[in-house]
Structure 1
Amino acid sequence: MKAGKLRHRILIQKKEVVRDEYNEEQEKWVTVCSCRAEVNPLQGKEFFAAQQINNKITVKITMRYRNGISTAMRIIFKKRIFNILVSINPLEKNRELQLMCEENAG
């Protein structure tokens, strides 16, 4: 993988249960790491649902291999939030990860 392709900075987050100042448990997104990646839009779909126009944008994020990345995590890129749909380790070589993601509209 050529380093020049990894021109975007992303944050990988996971949901954790943390305690607040009142000792109550709350779910919160916590940053696991910040890394370089290549972010490529794959397709844009517009469809009508409940008389509203919704955009469903799918991107492929390619990054160096990192163990433990799962679909329970999310990606932050330029103040946009992407849910990880699939994590692919090409040829099982542990050199790179391809993350197929969908933008979180809400």
Structure 2
Amino acid sequence: MQQLHQPNSYGEVEESDNTWVNHVTVWADVKFLQGRELFQASQVHNEVTAKILIRYRKDVEPNMRVRYLNRTLDIVSPPINVNEQNRYLELTCKEVI
């Protein structure tokens, strides 16, 4: 997972500083949605959407993104704590094109 460059002393990330840094490397089960599922989920045909399952972590935020093989995926909603058991997080992502 990657996050934007570290914030400055005021807690802000500079607009011009669009660099991403590696935050953590984790195990993940990545499933790209089929065309029919994509239509039901968002009714958008030109995006690739994925569901990613990782072990539970407190430090995953929606403003992060995921690098999977040679693909970059933006997290598009808050991570879901599966069954509120603090075992797995489900991330809904869309591919950065």
**Which runs of at least 4 in structure 1 moved beyond 2 Å after TM superposition?**
43-46
Structure 2: distance between partners of 1:17 and 1:96: 26
Higher helix fraction (1 or 2): 2
* Corresponding residue SS for 2:83: helix
Q: Tell me the equivalent position of 2:68.
A: 77
Q: Normalising by structure 1, what TM-score?
A: 0.68
In the alignment, structure 1 residue 92 sits paired with structure 2 residue 84: yes
Q: Tell me the equivalent position of 2:12.
A: none
Q: Normalising by structure 2, what TM-score?
A: 0.74
1:1-106 superposed matches below 5 A: 12-17=1-6, 26-44=17-35, 55-86=46-77, 87-105=79-97
Change (3 A) 1:17 1:66: closer
Deviation for aligned residue 1:91: 1.9
Give aligned-pair identity as a percent: 34
Which AA in structure 1 matches 2:80? I
Deviation for aligned residue 1:26: 2.6
Aligned pair count reads: 83
Structure 1: distance between partners of 2:76 and 2:28: 17
Higher strand fraction (1 or 2): 1
Question: What's the CA shift string for 1:40-95, capped at 9, x where partnerless?
Answer: 0113469xxxxxxx731111000101112111000000110000012111122110
Larger radius of gyration: 1
Structure 2: distance between partners of 1:59 and 1:71: 14
